């Protein structure tokens, strides 16, 4: 496991300072940048005793791997990778507290960090308790994912599980209903019951849900498409599905 990592972008750096300031080792800021958007970050760094290094743009470009750092990046202690046991602990906690019903997002083989980051942002906005991905053939928490997530990566747990089909079965054993999104499904998303303990499963960018994942779902639904486009990007589709569940839960 990595001991250190890089987080870049104003929202991502601001989020780690807000939620996990103890992880921040040092900040690197673009030389000459002192505008209002950056001031809260510099003030938080001063509050927590984080050292600030000023550097030329090329230095920040190199450190961020060419990412859109917006003039600020942080060297941080790597976050603990969450696994199946952590997911079980979360569900047990929700059951004990008995104040909410589980609401999860399963992403089957999403390999594009921009899509995972956008899905994490959707999940945070929708109040999802956690996002589940397979450990293999899926992107994890990279600096680009954190940047695109705009802070959501700091608050939405990402569980990387060894065997997705087995994890889905354990969710069902705990009373979680799994609804998979599939373009060819006969059932309409807007006619599905999404109010109870729920996990929404979304497929990869190109292939959709894998066979075992599809077979492990309790039901499959499709998003009605009336235009010439046959499918949606996984981050857009996840937003549509998650917020239909939110709508139902609020009604």
pLDDT at position 137 is 87
Tokens 């999104």 belong to 181
Asked if 76 and 5 touch (Cβ cutoff 8 Å), the reply is: yes
Q: Is 232 annotated as a binding residue?
A: yes
What are residue 242's DSSP bridge partners? none
Measure the CA–CA gap between 145 and 7, rounded to whole angstroms.
9
Q: Is 203 annotated as a binding residue?
A: yes
What CATH number is given for 4-77 in this structure?
3.30.1330.30
pLDDT at position 54 is 94
Query: Tens digits of per-residue pLDDT, 115-154?
Result: 999 999 999 999 999 999 999 989 998 888 998 998 899 9
What are the extents of the domains in the chain? 4-77, 84-250
> Of 2.30.30.360, 3.30.70.1230, 3.30.360.10, 3.40.1280.10, which CATH number belongs to 84-250?
3.40.1280.10
Measure the CA–CA gap between 24 and 220, rounded to whole angstroms.
42
Asked if 123 and 105 touch (Cβ cutoff 8 Å), the reply is: yes
pLDDT at position 2 is 64
Query: Tens digits of per-residue pLDDT, 20-72?
Result: 999 999 999 999 887 888 999 999 999 999 999 999 999 999 998 888 899 99
pLDDT at position 229 is 72
The encoded tokens of residue 230 equal 């046959």
pLDDT at position 1 is 52
Domains 4-77 and 84-250 share a fold: no
Query: Tens digits of per-residue pLDDT, 163-180?
Result: 999 999 999 999 999 999
Overall pTM > 0.85: yes
3 state SS of 127? coil
Q: Is 223 annotated as a binding residue?
A: yes
């Amino acid at each position: 496991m990595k001991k250190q990592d890089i987080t870049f972008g104003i929202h991502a750096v601001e989020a780690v300072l807000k939620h996990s300031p103890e992880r921040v080792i040092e900040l690197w800021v673009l030389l000459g940048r002192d505008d209002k958007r950056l001031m809260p970050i510099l003030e938080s760094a001063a509050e927590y005793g984080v050292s600030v290094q000023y550097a030329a743009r090329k230095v920040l470009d190199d450190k961020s791997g060419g990412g859109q750092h917006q003039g600020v990046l942080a060297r941080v202690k790597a976050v603990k990778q969450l696994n199946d046991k952590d997911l079980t602990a979360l569900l047990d906690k929700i059951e004990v507290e008995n104040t909410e019903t589980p609401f999860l997002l399963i992403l089957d083989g999403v390999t594009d960090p921009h899509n995972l980051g956008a899905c994490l942002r959707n999940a945070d906005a929708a109040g999802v308790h956690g996002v589940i991905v397979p450990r293999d053939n899926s992107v994890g928490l990279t600096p680009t994912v954190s940047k695109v997530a705009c802070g959501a990566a700091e608050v939405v747990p990402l569980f990387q599980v060894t065997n997705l089909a087995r994890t889905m079965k354990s969710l069902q054993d705990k009373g979680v209903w799994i609804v998979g999104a599939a373009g060819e499904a006969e059932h309409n998303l807007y006619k599905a019951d999404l109010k109870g303990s729920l996990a929404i499963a979304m497929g990869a960018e190109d292939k959709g849900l894998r066979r075992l994942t599809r077979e492990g779902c309790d039901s499959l639904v499709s998003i009605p498409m009336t235009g010439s486009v046959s499918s949606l990007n996984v981050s857009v589709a996840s937003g549509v599905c998650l917020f239909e569940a939110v709508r139902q839960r609020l009604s």
